[in-house]
Structure 1
Amino acid sequence: MRTVDRLKLPDLIAAGEVALRAGEWTAAREQFQQATELGESAPALEGLSTASWWLNQVDAAIGYRQRAFSLHKHEARLGPAGFCAVWIAAQYFAVYDNMAAAEGWLAVGQKLLVEAGPCPELARLMVMQTAMSSDWRATIESCRQAREMARALGDRDCEVLADSYIGLARVTGGEVRQGLGELDAAMAMCTAGEVTELWIVGLIYCAMLAACERAADFARADQWCSVGGFVERYRESVFSAACRACYGAIHVARGRWDAAEQELVGALRTFEEGPRGQRIDALSRLATLRLHQGRPGEAARLLEGFEDHPEATLAMAGLRLGEGHPRQAAALLERRLVALGEPNMQAAPLLSMLVEAHLAAGEPAKARAAADRLGALAARSEGRYLPGVAALAAGLVTAAEGGDPLPELERALDHLTQAELPLEAGMSRLAIAHALEAQDPELATSEARRAIITFERLGAVPQADAASALLQSLGGPRRTGPKGRAPLSRREGQVLELLGLGLSNNELAARLFISRRTAEHHVGSILAKLELKSRAEATAYALRHLRG
């Protein structure tokens, strides 16, 4: 390397690092690319890898990181070499679901870092490898050790990351108040700019969102996302696609189903255009939303190839339940619950559906046992959601046993209404209507009508149909909204009209100023909602119904 090049190289690397901290990925890539053209440099290759990763170019990012690994190892820099290996392992695990490659690179990284002794890279390994662990207690112990090492070495970013992972693990294990407190402190450091590496900021945000979903503290997630703006700023990256899927589930719970659709479809679009290994996060949540919307066929298509994935359990059990196979649904749920172990806050939605499955199978004793397990989890919660769904489950079981469910159902309605969770609040109101059907038909009719209003506002077709059936049995009018079929959105109506003109997806995209992939999504959604099998059927439907 010429003397002038050696003098220029540090400036290029420094400029690239400044661009990375600012989130200017393309500019960073250009700086690091120029640096590598002057000669092989491990810092330049690592920077180029990070910039490429944020730009969804994960294959290229791995290649650059492998080159950096070789340089570090050749020059006996064991800590940096080990961390490069761990980083590569993380991509194979999280992005490509390639456990053989992930475990191989992790073993290489672990060996090098143990040989290197205490160093910032070892502390980061101790935190990052907990992502592959299902033992929340072991995660806490490993992260505590990493936090102390990072603190002694002055690695503030790693210290805060360890705090956030401890918080997530504690929430998972049922120590909800303490865990959320740890996460609040970590998020405060992020939003104050105390964490400088954006990929670590992203990991902390994802930990917060996952914890809020598991603890059903949806308001907390909304509040933090409105403060820092990380998800909004980096929503199109592969990294934040998993966060978007989690945030989409939070939108679903809060009744913002249009926003949920935007987040979940956006996450899937990211996976389609880049790595696809994490798409189950978005697919499973979108499939659950489709079940709420009365679109089981589309839910099933979303899960094709992922039917046995643990993250698909809830949606697959919902499909089996809707098909009239409650014992199959219960078996799926129980298998997943055994794998999770107890206590585990991730079990809550599974237990809620398990109660429903046992009741549908005519097994109230098993339903009571599941409701009791849900109640035990709710006792660990700080919010209103879990006590609400636990009270709803208990009330449904009490009704099946022939007892008076109203005290439990009223308590459920109060919790879920105050938590601003409209679907579950509507289900509580519908259960109250059923409980009042014989003793107070007038009040039952009023509750059923209010439930229908909630369900129709959400687009919850199966629940609206159930409320309508009860209302009709009470002598009320037929439901005026669409029955058994979710309504088309305004944009879908526009697309359907253009399908009637015979336009292709490219022509649809040009006419409506949207991407071709978005046009494809709208067409698929129209087919699912109208229960049509092909584009030709959609064209014929449009000609019949839109042109008279």
Structure 2
Amino acid sequence: MGGSALDVGRAAYRENRWNDAVAELELADRDAVTTPLDLENLATAAFLVGRAADGLDWLARAHEAFLADGDDVAAIRCAAWLGMMLSDLGDHARSGGWFARAERLVDASDEPDADHGFLRVPHGLQALYSGDAEGAERIFREAELRARRAGDADIAALAGLGIGQSRIMLGDLGAGMRLLDEVMVAVTTGELSPEASGIAYCALLQSCRLAFDLRRAQEWTRALDRWCAARPDLIVFTGQCHAHRAALFLAHGAWAEAEAAADEAMQRSARGDHDGIFASAYLRGEVHRLRGEDAAAEASYEAAARTGFEPQPGLALLRLAQGDSATARRMILAAADRLDPSERRVLLPAVVEIELVAGEVAGARGAADELVAFSRSESMPLVDALAESAESAVLLAEGDAEGALAASRRAWVRWRELEVPFEAARSRVLAARCIRASGDEASAAMELDAARAIFEELGAAPGFAVAWPPVTAPDGLSPREVEVLRLVAAGHSNREIAAALYLSEKTIERHLSNIFGKLGLTSRSAATAYAFRHGLAD
């Protein structure tokens, strides 16, 4: 009976039927017929189906069994994986203990490169995360050399990922992404274990985000979808897989699909793929923010923050939409200051937007120039579109409506080619502002109507659909305050404005108090007159 379970379990493991593998190999283990390799495979299958605690126990037993058989290399491998898994779970004390045990065994071993370079990988990651990309690359290259010498494809791939990520952090995006693509060749040809393959997919897609490489992200997300679909029992990595899909749906304007994918990512993450929790919660927050559902967005960002990562730039942009530009600015600048250059770039478009609303044109110019320089050094469609959009908004704030109009037109073309409708519509709003500055109200209205149609089709927040307010709103008004002022000028009550903007009446009262204070007004009729004088009323 035990032998039968062992044979079935081994076959299930080879065929990626992880739940069957766990059930049968666990049964065989009870009958004491498993080998150390069977225990290691049982641990791997348990990790893949979300049973991390059981996986850790079985991997520790596999380590001891390999030691008893005199297979030091396999024992070191198990100890190193235990260190990696525990570190990923946040259990740094036990992680350090297993790494120390692995290093002691390496020192005691007569075999050169007994760890196959595995123990260099966490040191490389530590250097990378601390911002020492050059040091990290040296460590990863040493690990790769040892792994290739030992013929260990998994460790060579992990080291290759680290080299590619180091090159990206150093600003060499082209070389970094090519190195990651090379690792993915090993994944697609089936040379790597499931754990290494899943790590490679997720690292590549994270790097695509840092490189603003939307098209590469689309291609590899489709590949990850196929890889996960071929392993229906898989839990680990699938939360991240659905989160990547949600991000692409969000960019391409399929917000209902993005929300559904984020929900699926959250469910998968709760079942064992804890690395997907932040992304799933954050992306739900983004969908709610863009729809104007402030309370739901707030709750989602809070859930994301509980993972230990900052939900930026989404939370800062939510504060901006709520009329609190000071807090938004404080948040986004603090977050940008804490990040290395490769991560900081992701925040630059939000920095430009928030700085302009706060009236800090010089700060917006600095962030826009940084984006433009990035675009010139690594020309990619998404980077170019972001740079053109930022440049257009800043030029308009600086008084160069003609230059801003040309930049907004170029941005619109790029966003349309990338099939990112929300940003394309924002570019048309920028164009309308530029045209309005020349006095051509009719042409400006046509641009705004085109943008409004897209916002309404997407289900964007009413403030976008009505007509996105000028970035440089007069007299220090925030975008949300301009939205409220427009609706006041249209004759709506506080209750009606609250319903239109999905806010509470108390929040509307606070916005009105801010508006009256900034403009030195005391009545709704005076505010209405102001709105008409400044072209803020439809």
TM-score by length of 2: 0.78
Letter in 1 for 2:270: E
CA contact (8 A) 1:321 1:329 kept: yes
Alignment partners' CA distance in 2, 1:378 and 1:295: 33
Q: CA deviation at 1:75?
A: 5.1
Matching residue of 1:360 = 357
Q: Does 1:101 align with 2:100?
A: no
Q: Structure 1 residues 484, 221: CA separation in 2 closer, same or farther (over 3 Å shift)?
A: farther
Q: Does 1:254 align with 2:237?
A: no
Alignment partners' CA distance in 2, 1:37 and 1:201: 30
Q: Deviations over 1:288-335 (max 9, x none)?
A: 222122122112112336548334232222232223232322332233
Letter in 2 for 1:216: F
Q: Structure 1 residues 403, 125: CA separation in 2 closer, same or farther (over 3 Å shift)?
A: same
Alignment partners' CA distance in 2, 1:266 and 1:173: 35
Q: Secondary structure at the match of 1:331?
A: helix
Letter in 1 for 2:453: I
Q: How is 1:94-493 mapped onto 2 (pairs within 5 angstroms)?
A: 94=88, 96-116=89-109, 118-119=112-113, 121-127=115-121, 130-132=124-126, 133-134=128-129, 135=131, 136-193=133-190, 195-227=191-223, 229-234=226-231, 237-274=235-272, 276=274, 278-304=276-302, 307=305, 309-342=308-341, 344=342, 346-404=343-401, 405-439=404-438, 440-461=440-461, 464-467=464-467
Alignment partners' CA distance in 2, 1:141 and 1:358: 39
Q: Structure 1 residues 99, 251: CA separation in 2 closer, same or farther (over 3 Å shift)?
A: farther
Q: Deviations over 1:462-498 (max 9, x none)?
A: 563352678998xxx99xxx998899xxxxxxxxxxx
Letter in 2 for 1:87: W
Alignment partners' CA distance in 2, 1:207 and 1:313: 20
Q: Deviations over 1:398-447 (max 9, x none)?
A: 21122221122222222222222222221111111111124222221121
Q: How is 1:490-529 mapped onto 2 (pairs within 5 angstroms)?
A: none
Alignment partners' CA distance in 2, 1:420 and 1:461: 20
Alignment partners' CA distance in 2, 1:275 and 1:486: 38
Q: Deviations over 1:343-401 (max 9, x none)?
A: x1x22231111111111211111111121122222233342111211221122112112
Q: Secondary structure at the match of 2:253?
A: coil
Alignment partners' CA distance in 2, 1:57 and 1:377: 43
Alignment partners' CA distance in 1, 2:258 and 2:331: 26
Matching residue of 1:518 = none
CA contact (8 A) 2:143 2:159 kept: yes
> Is the deviation greater in 316-325 or in 145-154?
316-325
CA contact (8 A) 1:294 1:484 kept: no
Q: Structure 1 residues 310, 225: CA separation in 2 closer, same or farther (over 3 Å shift)?
A: closer
Q: Deviations over 1:118-150 (max 9, x none)?
A: 447442343355445413333332222222222
RMSD, aligned CA: 3.3
Alignment partners' CA distance in 1, 2:448 and 2:415: 17
Q: Structure 1 residues 42, 484: CA separation in 2 closer, same or farther (over 3 Å shift)?
A: farther
Alignment partners' CA distance in 2, 1:277 and 1:242: 7
**Structure 2: which 5+ runs fail to align?**
471-482, 506-538
Q: Deviations over 1:239-271 (max 9, x none)?
A: 332233233223212223233222211111123
CA contact (8 A) 2:80 2:118 kept: no
Q: Structure 1 residues 226, 272: CA separation in 2 closer, same or farther (over 3 Å shift)?
A: closer
CA contact (8 A) 1:49 1:61 kept: yes
Q: Structure 1 residues 354, 468: CA separation in 2 closer, same or farther (over 3 Å shift)?
A: closer
TM-score by length of 1: 0.77
CA contact (8 A) 1:144 1:166 kept: yes
Q: Does 1:30 align with 2:30?
A: no
Alignment partners' CA distance in 2, 1:285 and 1:338: 23
Alignment partners' CA distance in 2, 1:118 and 1:387: 49
> Is the deviation greater in 407-416 or in 122-131?
122-131
Alignment partners' CA distance in 2, 1:120 and 1:408: 57
Q: Structure 1 residues 232, 336: CA separation in 2 closer, same or farther (over 3 Å shift)?
A: farther
CA contact (8 A) 1:245 1:282 kept: yes
Letter in 2 for 1:100: A
CA contact (8 A) 1:234 1:240 kept: no
Q: Does 1:57 align with 2:55?
A: no
Matching residue of 2:61 = 67
Residue correspondences, number: 474
Alignment partners' CA distance in 1, 2:123 and 2:170: 18
Q: Secondary structure at the match of 2:141?
A: helix
Letter in 1 for 2:42: L
Alignment partners' CA distance in 2, 1:165 and 1:14: 37
Q: Structure 1 residues 72, 420: CA separation in 2 closer, same or farther (over 3 Å shift)?
A: same
Q: CA deviation at 1:50?
A: 0.9
Q: Deviations over 1:17-67 (max 9, x none)?
A: 543342110222234224322326422221111111111111111121122
Aligned match for 1:84, one of 68, 78, 83: 78
CA contact (8 A) 1:294 1:485 kept: no
Q: Secondary structure at the match of 2:16?
A: coil
CA contact (8 A) 1:79 1:119 kept: no
Matching residue of 2:527 = none
CA contact (8 A) 1:288 1:314 kept: no
CA contact (8 A) 1:21 1:198 kept: no
Q: Secondary structure at the match of 2:323?
A: coil
Q: CA deviation at 1:12?
A: 6.6
Alignment partners' CA distance in 2, 1:209 and 1:14: 37
Letter in 1 for 2:460: A
